[in-house]
Amino acid sequence: MQSANVLLKKIVRSSVLPFAAQHGMKKDLFSLSRTLSLSLCQKQDNSCSPSEKVDLDAWKKVMKSGLQEEVSETVSEHKELSTLAAAREILEMWRLAGRSVPEHISEEQLKTFMECPSKSAKKKYLKYLHLKELYKKNDKRKMDEKRERRLATQEQVSKTDETRRNSFICLWANSMDRAYSWRVAQSMIFGQPLVFDMSYEKDMSVREVANTVRQVVLSEGCNRRSVDPFHIHFCNFKDDSLYHKEFIKQYREAWGKLLITVTDQCYTDVFPKDKLIYLTADSPKVMKTYDHNKIYIIGSMVDRSIKTGVSLARAKRLGLETAALPLEKYLLWNTGAKNLTLDQMMHILLTLKDTGDWKKALEFVPKRKYYSFVSKPVHELKKTLNLINTLKFGKTKEEAQKQFAKNYSKKLTQK
Amino acid sequence: NVQPPEKPLQAEEWNRLRESFRSPEIFEEVMFNSMVRCNSPIDVAKSLLTHVAKSNGDIAYSLLVKYLALCVQQGQTSEIRDMYDIMKIRFKILESGAYNLLIKGLSNSDQWRMALTLLEEVKKIMVPSRTNYESCIKAASRHQEMNLAFELYHEMLAKDLVPTLDVLQAFFDFSRGMKGAELQKELFGILLYLRENQIYPHKTFMRSIKLWFESIPGGNWRGHLTNIKDSGQCPVCNHQLEDSDLTEEEYNNLRERIIRDVIHGTDTFRKTSPQEFEAFQTFVENRFPFDIVIDGLNVSHIKPRKMQCENLFDAVNCLAKENARLLVLGRKHMLINSSNWKREIMKEMQNKADFFFAENISEDDAFLLYATLRSGKHCKFVTRDFLRDHKACLSDSLTRHLFRKWQRGHQIVFSPSAEGKHINFLPALCYDCVVQTTGDTWHIPYKDAFEEKYSYRVPRKWLCIQQK
């Protein structure tokens, strides 16, 4: 029998099927040949007859099979699900459905998620967590790659071990730090004060406060590294406020060693009122020159929902002078709010302080917000803007002009 | 970007397609998306599912949902039921996307009751969306189960979901010719809902309302399309429409809220200052009541080619008829002699009207509202501003509705057609543009298009329904 089978296989391989059929095969063997003949005819012709179709519902069987046991377990569990666990499950389902949902979510985040007042708020929060997770993952991946590369280069270096001769000691980060600290310490005695007003906690959401603190930290960093730093004051700073918590989160133990002045007093109690100038985009007054004898105040507020006039109100209440940056005078504005981030403000003020050059200082305004610097009379710029618009959006002249009118207040055109 | 095949494919053919695709890992997702877009036959989708199941031993949830979407799109009821069973076996709970599809698919079939059970299931894990309710309500009313439909409708209102105009229209469509006092009461309730929320039905919805009224057995209702006269009289039944006056209580309420939310808000200094507001209050107390309060700066920009103070001068002259007491609100910079503001003209105007000049950085609109409301019901105000930002400051929808109602009846706007030399104003509507009834008549304003661009524009066309 075995030898007969071998023979048959040989016959099949040599594809002399008609011959085998003619010679009265056994039934099971015949079925083998039949499937073979099918696949053969398919290769020749793609259109199959109905009996040869794919079993279209086969997937249902796959999906239903092998999962029955699991179900019996879950049913009893189902009823006892706590609300948190239930939320976690819904999130899991959303993730499976392909929505922007983080893979891992902590208990605390889950609670924040459930406290979101609306469906859209929940969606936004999840998307935020999702993106955060993605960034973290990417960073980690990059770090790993970097480490590998470093290891590889180190191996190379060790192979070609060469003694380097250098009269300078390599300037390490901590000695740089010491030099910076020295400068900042000096500025704390002789430097020009710069006030961050920390009284906007009530006007912000938790996330906005976190963003604010992040920006203040960046500003402090660039102040520290500058040639002639400001003496930074945090005024109206309450201990155990949200600001405080966020600062500790950012700085950790360095918070206690920062070379800045932190006080719960208002700036009006610390400095003479006539020396203070509150910087706010809503101010009707435009800053013309940088004054080295004044004390500028920056409101520590990130304002995502565009609450106009909040900081202007604060200055009005205290009867302080206000000023706005001369953005419209120097820049042909494109889009975006005129309020800048705190670190951008810091860069601008530092540059002004050093050079007094507006053009140089306003380089720190994000490029997307303006077309170009104003170098020609306004009516000529109008032409340029029209051209830009027609090139960029294919807008008609009138539309472009409308855009211009919107961007350029009447005040300026009259000047 | 990929064209789905027209016939079911074999496993190796799918494989070949997959390999030729740019990023094979998302091939199935992309393919299913385009199948839904092209409305491919479900057999094709099935063959792909079979291929996936056989090669992976499992099918991802997102693919199942996409397949479900295809089934719903084609009304494949038995397939939808199967999908439900499979998903239930496979997953503990489903998410809203799948439920939306299941409910939508089943509610359109003869198994619509199943959609109701699914709705119950959804309620256990989240608040159903308004479209979930919409599907179920439509299904119930399509099968003449009006009680059930209304039960769901009230449930959805209790959950603060805003019903779509479609659902409301469905009630009228499917109740046509049906008898029953209870049913009538419910439908009148919907009309009152439109009234309370100041919603205007669109043309087809209006037609459904009309047909329903005319179909009430023994009701003898007749509907006519018409335009209301400026006097507020309906030309069909000569009925005088309601005016937009608020009651004493509503009036006081609105005034309080304007002061609290719009003028003071989170910080009085944002729009004015306490001293300034106090000064303004005493100013108004000493001189009110005014008949018309004018937003001076806004009016001064009516004709851009003219000097601003001339515009204002024309407007004041135009409005200062019959000894009307005018108040013009402006800012201090108007008092400084400049190219746009001539001192002599300002002087002359101040003989004809009272003026209040706010600080240059204060917001005069808030003062405008206050002065008008303080002067009483007869007082109107003039501005081209739609006051949307002020309405938005009010914290609850009820007050916002009051504000809109008051605004409709008291705002005088510049007439856009007046291209000539003289400035003309459209008088404020003396009737209220809102669904209204007297018991034996109904007057329903309607929009021409489904989606009208401007929410502040009130419709001019009306449906008049009267009982003979």
Instruction: State what percent of residues in chain B have pLDDT above 90.
Output: 38
Whole-number pLDDT of residue A378: 61
The CATH number that domain B164-242+429-467 falls under is: 1.25.40.10
- Min CA distance, B352 vs chain A (Å)? 29
Decide if A93 and B61 are in contact by the 8 Å CB cutoff: yes
> Would you say domain B248-428 falls under CATH 3.40.50.11980?
yes
Instruction: State what percent of residues in chain B have pLDDT above 70.
Output: 96
Candidate from A56, A86, A316 with C-beta closest to B8: A56
Average pLDDT, chain B: 88
H/E element holding B444?
strand B441-446
Say yes or no to pLDDT of B133 above 90.
Answer: yes
A284 in contact with B at a CB cutoff of 8 Å?
A: yes
Whether B42 and B74 have beta carbons less than 8 Å apart is answered as yes
Q: How far is CA A313 from CA A237, A265, A310, A344, B8, in A?
A: 19, 19, 5, 23, 69
Whether A338 and A327 have beta carbons less than 8 Å apart is answered as yes
Decide if A64 and B89 are in contact by the 8 Å CB cutoff: yes
Q: Answer with the residue of higher pLDDT: A30 or B15.
A: B15
A24 in contact with B at a CB cutoff of 8 Å?
A: no
Distance, CA of B188 to CA of B183 (rounded, Å):
9
Candidate from A56, A89, A203 with C-beta closest to B50: A56
H/E element holding B209?
helix B203-215
Among A35, A42, A55, A56, which would you mutate to test the B interface (most chain B Cβ atoms within 10 Å of its Cβ)?
A: A56
Whether A191 and A292 have beta carbons less than 8 Å apart is answered as no
Decide if A62 and B53 are in contact by the 8 Å CB cutoff: yes
Half-sphere exposure (Cβ direction) of B361: Cα atoms closer than 13 Å: 16
Candidate from B54, B89, B97 with C-beta closest to A58: B54
Whole-number pLDDT of residue B317: 84
Whether B62 and A96 have beta carbons less than 8 Å apart is answered as yes
Q: How many CB pairs under 8 A join A and B?
A: 100
Q: Report the predicted TM-score, pTM, of the whole model to 2 decimal places.
A: 0.76
Distance, CA of B133 to CA of B150 (rounded, Å):
11
Whole-number pLDDT of residue B106: 93
User: What are the respective helix, strand and coil percentages of chain B, to the nearest 5?
Assistant: 55, 10, 35
Chain A hits for B57, Cβ within 8 Å: 62
- In which residue are the tokens 């059929």 written? A21
Whole-number pLDDT of residue A336: 87
Give the closest residue to B102 by CA, choosing from B115, B112, B92.
B115
Per-position b or e across B420-451, b if 16+ CB within 10 A of its CB: eeebebeebbebbbbbbeeeebbbbbbbeeee
The mean pLDDT value for B327-334 works out to: 91
Residue of chain B with shortest Cα separation from A310: B270
Range of weakest confidence among A4-8, A356-360, B287-291, B445-449: A4-8
Q: Which residues 63-92 of chain B have a CB within 8 Å of chain A?
A: 65, 82, 85-86, 89-92
Q: What is the pLDDT of residues B374-422, one digit of tens each?
A: 888 889 899 888 888 888 888 888 888 889 888 888 888 877 655 556 6
| Residue A61: CB atoms within 10 Å | 12
Candidate from A54, A68, A94 with C-beta closest to B8: A54
Chain B hits for A55, Cβ within 8 Å: 50
Range of weakest confidence among B2-16, B24-38, B441-455: B441-455
Say yes or no to pLDDT of B277 above 70.
Answer: yes
B162 in contact with A at a CB cutoff of 8 Å?
A: no
Q: Which residues 81-120 of chain A have a CB within 8 Å of chain B?
A: 86, 89-90, 93-94, 96-98, 119
Query: Is the complex ipTM more than 0.85?
Result: no
Band of pLDDT at residue B116, cut at 50, 70 and 90: very high
Whole-number pLDDT of residue A21: 44
Q: Kindly give the parts of chain A with pLDDT less than 70.
A: 1-54, 66-81, 159-171, 375-382, 384-385, 392-415
Decide if B8 and A53 are in contact by the 8 Å CB cutoff: yes
Distance, CA of A264 to CA of A365 (rounded, Å):
31
Chain A hits for B273, Cβ within 8 Å: 316-317
Every domain of chain B and the residues it spans: 164-242+429-467, 248-428
A173 in contact with B at a CB cutoff of 8 Å?
A: no
DSSP letter, residue B322? T
SS3 A98: coil
| Residue B192: CB atoms within 10 Å | 13
Decide if B93 and A309 are in contact by the 8 Å CB cutoff: no
| Residue A39: CB atoms within 10 Å | 9
Whether A295 and A194 have beta carbons less than 8 Å apart is answered as yes
Band of pLDDT at residue B350, cut at 50, 70 and 90: confident
Decide if B360 and A90 are in contact by the 8 Å CB cutoff: no
Range of weakest confidence among A391-395, B181-185, B242-246, B284-288: A391-395
